[in-house]
Amino acid sequence: MDLFFQLLINGIIVGTLYGVVAMCFVLIYKSTQVVNFAQGEFLLIGAWICWYILVQFQIPFVFGFLITLVFMAGLGIFIQMVVLRPMIGEPIISVIMVTIGLSIFMRALVNWLFGQNAVGFPEVFSTSSINIGGLYVQPAYLMSFVISIVIMAGFFYFFKYSRYGLAMRATAFNQQVAQSLGISVKQVFAMAWAISAMVSALAGVVVGMVNGVSSALSFIGIKVFPAVILGGLDSIIGAVVGGLIVGVLENMAEYVDGQFLYWGNMLTIAPFWVLIIILVIKPYGLFGTKDIERV
């Protein structure tokens, strides 16, 4: 039973991280109508850049991390302006192809610059597990959990109370309406990409600290798709819940598989099974918006 709870805890911790990346995905989808298949590569690039700065310049983690965030914000805005702004008004399939191309390009670029091999992150938090009520949790994981919760609270506050958050929601609702209110849609688009890239990089650094930095980081981007679609593609809360479900499911599948079934590798496919089942029952996902209709 201990293993069960251990995996449940792991699932929740990983799930919140998926939730954070899923939120970044939804942020871009909601405000700019772009399905960003290069989301996982933001984690990859963020982790590598942070690693490079820390190893190369030997500066304290906090500064290296801040520089990474600034770099990622710039990268997000750059990609939005150079790659995606010309695609405004093009068919959705073209935009998807562009983001897939972008993901391949960024992965190749990172492989070329930093090599294929995984490298360890300079130790920031102790990697030896600590014991909380009989369950072992790595401090880095605990940190990731706390950071994820803080980010989620930050997103909530941002969209509910800040004027830029309101402007983003208005733009997501209708761009012409947003413009009539004096909101610059270009600015909102750039902001969405900047925030999404920064927060994804943060998630990348957290995962990199635990598992080491390698191209495997970009696979989190793929894990996030079932989470996002489960939640309903345009719902921030749905992204969080979807992320949690996928994280817990993975670990539960591992438990069931390891204890009873011995099929092997169930953890990678279980989220997709559940995704299919939920989409059959609720085609818009768990929290997908249905338009308000007054009758």
Partner 1 sequence: MSASAAAAETPAATPAREPILSVNNIEVVYDDVILVLRGVSLDVPEGDIVTLLGPNGAGKTTTLKAISGLLRTENGEVTRGEVRFMGENIANMAPEQIVRRGIFQVMEGRRIVEDMTVIENLRLGAYTRKDGAAAVKRDLEMVLDYFPRLRERTGLAGYLSGGEQQMLAIGRAMMARPKLILLDEPSMGLAPLLVKEVFHIVRKLNKELGMTTLLVEQNAKMALGAASYGYIMESGKVVMDGTQADLLDNEDVKEFYLGGGGEHRKSFKNLKSYKRRKRWI
Residues that bind partner 1 (CB under 8 A): 160, 163, 166-167, 169-170, 173-177, 179-184, 289, 291-292, 294
Q: Residue 32 corresponds to which amino acid?
A: T
Nearer to partner 1, 61 or 169 (CB): 169
Q: Residue 166 CB, nearest distance to partner 1 (Å)?
A: 5
Q: Which is nearer to partner 1, 162 or 259 (CB)?
A: 162
Q: What is the DSSP string of 61-89?
A: HHHHHHHHHHHHHHHHHHHIIIIIGGGTT
Query: Residues 212, 121: contact at Cβ < 8 Å?
Result: yes
Burial class (CB in 10 A: 0-12, 13-18, 19+), 88: middle
Cβ atoms of residues 183 and 67 within 8 Å:
no
Least distance in angstroms from the C-beta of 177 to partner 1:
5
What's the min distance (Å) between Cβ of 34 and partner 1? 19
Q: Whole-number minimum distance, CB 81 to partner 1, in Å?
A: 16
Q: Which tokens belong to 246?
A: 């996928």
Nearer to partner 1, 7 or 190 (CB): 190
Among residues 199, 48, 25, 195, the alpha carbon closest in space to that of 109 is found at 48
Nearer to partner 1, 170 or 245 (CB): 170
CB of 161 to partner 1, least distance (A): 9
Residue 89 or 133: which CB sits closer to partner 1?
89
Question: Nearest 10 degrees: CA dihedral of 203, 208, 213, 217?
Answer: -40
C-beta atoms surrounding 15 within 10 Å: 26
Q: Which of 27, 9, 31 is nearest to 19 (CA)?
A: 27
Q: How far is the CB of 184 from partner 1 (least distance, A)?
A: 5
Please say whether the beta carbons of 249 and 46 come within 8 A.
no
Cβ proximity to partner 1, 30 vs 223, nearer residue = 30
Least Å distance, CB 149 to partner 1, is: 24
Give 152 or 170: the residue with its C-beta nearer to partner 1: 170
Taken in order 282, 283, 288, 294, the sign of the CA dihedral is negative
